[in-house]
Structure formats: C-alpha cells, structure tokens
Amino acid sequence: MAWFIKDETIKKPSSKSLWVKCKKCSSHVYDVEWKENLNVCPICNFHGSITSRQRADLIFDKGSFNELFANIGPVDSLKFVDLKGSYKDKFEENKKKAGINEAVLTGHGKINGIKAVASIMDFRFLGGSLGSGTGEKILQGANFALEHKMPYIVFSESGGARMQEGVLSLMQMAKTCSGVAKLNKKNIPFISVLVNPTTGGVTASYAMMGDINIAEPFAVIGFAGRRVIEQTIGEKLPDDFQTAEYLLEHGFVDAIVNRKDMKDYLSNVLSYYNLK
C-alpha cells in the first residue's frame, strides 16, 4: 500500500503562475526570466511595472539611498464613499498591499557617485494617483533638492489626480509645480522620467515640466484618456497614439531610454551639471 501514500514533505507546486503574460505582445514569458529582465518583455521590449523600491535600487548606488518623508500618508478629508466603499478603507488596504504609505517614494542618494534627490511614483498604491500626501512628498523632495543644491528627478507612473480627494488633489498640480518653479529660479536641474502610464493631472503638471523629459519605451503618456478622446471624436485612435514614441516625434520628450540603461543615462546627463 505504502507506495502510493502521499508524501507530505514533497512541496506542492505554487498555485501562482510561473508565466507572465506581456501586456503588449501577449507572449508568455517565464516568471524568472521576466524578473531577471527587470520586468521588461524579452520579446517586444515592453516595460512592465516595477515597484518604487525596485526602481530606487536600480537607479541609486548600492546602499546610498536614504528615504525621506516616509511618515507622510493620506487622510480621508472628504469622507469620500463610492460604490466600493470608503476612501479610508481603500488607502489602508493599499498601504498594506504596497508596503508604502503614499503613491510616491522620496529620498536622496548617489547615482554613479552623483548626488541627487528622487521621487518615484508607485502604481500599486491607488494607481499612482496624485493625492495631497503624494503632492506634499513631491514638493518636499523639491525643497530638499533646493536646500542641498542637488538635482531633482521625478519618476511618474500615475493615472492622474486622485478623485477621492476632490479639488484638493487638483490643487496638488499647482503645489508641485510651485516646487518646480523654485528649482527653475535657482537653476537646479529637474529631470522628469515618464513611465507607463502617465496621464491626466500628473502629465499636466510636473511630469511635463522637466528640464529634460525622458520616457521608457512604449509608455502611454497623455492628458485625456483614450476612451474620452474616442468618444469626443467618434472614431478609433491609431495604436501609437499617446505613446513615448509619439511624444518623441511631437517634440515633448528628449529621449526614450531602456530601463537597464536608465541609471547610466541619468548620471551621464547629470555629469554636465556644473554647480555654481
């Protein structure tokens, strides 16, 4: 009988899929290969989402990143309730899920030896939406850069303003841009990196205001949503509409840079900055 008794010590295969389906080309890529390739599709070069901490690890020299303003988080000031429940429940759940308190990670460190401040948005936290806490961290990051005369880099990955905070979220566009304005006036470089997707109020504020704008390949970048435009004009939009490549062609980004090359690209550009 014993030969078919289940051996409990043998590990069952994980129920989690071992394959990642690329959102662009629909290829199935082995999970390990996908991760080793920094969540970039080895077949079509589509850049999938990565967490803000992973991105910080990719950009900053090992052990040099110091997080700032981690204590800042959202509050449900409007007591906003929609069909799925309260905003408060939603952001508490997102805090646990994403392991961060807001849709952006801010900190400073060294990029190939060059000191810089960065705010890195995280799509896992309420779709990377721009709320009051997000805006505060982005502004504080700019203030820190100003104070320490370090270049400021913002990675945007966001669906836009956070509806659950009403006009307070809209005002974050003015708040963050006033930080950018201060950097402009003191000639501190501000670099914007646009990641898939960057839309709405984030595109219409700091994300488009980089002294240099960089995008990852195939990133969707736009103001109005694709569906809204299609409804307005009553026809289908071309496939490449609102992509990084489309923006490069129309003169709104300086370069499209692969994730694996981003660190070296940034340090190369920043090496031209002569601090007065």
Partner 1 sequence: MTKVKSKPSEKSVKNSTEKGKNGTAWDIVKISRHPNRPVLQDYISLVFENFIPLHGDRYFADDPAIVGGFAKIGDKKVMLIGQNKGKNTTDQITRNFGMAKPEGYRKALRLMKLAERFNLPIVTVIDTPGAFPGIEAEERGQAESIAKNITEMAKLEVPIVAVVIGEGGSGGALGIGVGDKILMLSNAIYSVISPEGCASILWRDATFAPEAAEALNITAKALLKLEVIDEIIEEPKGGAHSDYDKTATAVKSAILKNLKSLENISVDKLLDMRADKYAAMGKFSTDN
Residues 14-33, mask of contacts with partner 1 (x by CB under 8 A): --------------------
For 21-41, give the DSSP string: E-TTT--EEEHHHHHHTTTB-
Residues 56-115 touching partner 1, rule: CB under 8 A, are 70-75, 77-85, 95, 101-102
Residues 188-227, mask of contacts with partner 1 (x by CB under 8 A): ------------xx-xxxxxxx------------xxxx--
Alpha-carbon torsion 100, 106, 109, 110, what sign? positive
Residue-wise burial string across 136-158, b where 16 or more C-beta atoms lie within 10 A, e elsewhere: bbbbbbbebbbeeebbbbbbbbb
**232 part of the interface to partner 1, by CB under 8 A:** yes
Identify any residues that bridge with 243 across adjacent strands, giving them in sequence order.
220
Which of 103, 145, 154, 180 is close enough to bind partner 1 by CB under 8 A? 180
Query: SS3 string of 108-169?
Result: EEEECCEEEEEEEECCCCHHHCECHHHHHHHHHHHHHHHHHCCCEEEEEEECCECHHHHHHH
Nearest C-alpha neighbor of 132 from the set 162, 100, 96: 162
- Residue 43 or 70: which CB sits closer to partner 1? 70
- Residue 150 or 180: which CB sits closer to partner 1? 180
Distance from CA of residue 81 to its chain's centroid?
Answer: 26
**133 part of the interface to partner 1, by CB under 8 A:** yes
Which of 115, 124, 182, 263 is close enough to bind partner 1 by CB under 8 A? 182
- Shortest Cβ 83–partner 1 spacing (Å): 5
> How far apart are alpha carbons 6 and 228 in whole angstroms?
56
**233 part of the interface to partner 1, by CB under 8 A:** yes
- Shortest Cβ 59–partner 1 spacing (Å): 23
**255 part of the interface to partner 1, by CB under 8 A:** no
- Shortest Cβ 184–partner 1 spacing (Å): 7
Q: How many residues bind partner 1 (CB under 8 A)?
A: 68
Query: Using an 8 Å Cβ cutoff, are 188 and 145 in contact?
Result: yes
> How far apart are alpha carbons 73 and 106 in whole angstroms?
12
Query: Using an 8 Å Cβ cutoff, are 134 and 172 in contact?
Result: yes
Which of 145, 175, 196, 259 is close enough to bind partner 1 by CB under 8 A? 175
- Shortest Cβ 231–partner 1 spacing (Å): 8
> How far apart are alpha carbons 153 and 146 in whole angstroms?
12
- Shortest Cβ 35–partner 1 spacing (Å): 29
**Amino acid, res. 242:** Q
Q: Which residues bind partner 1 (CB under 8 A)?
A: 70-75, 77-85, 95, 101-102, 131-133, 135-136, 139, 161, 163-175, 177-178, 180-182, 184-185, 200-201, 203-209, 222-225, 228-229, 232-233, 237, 241-242, 250-252
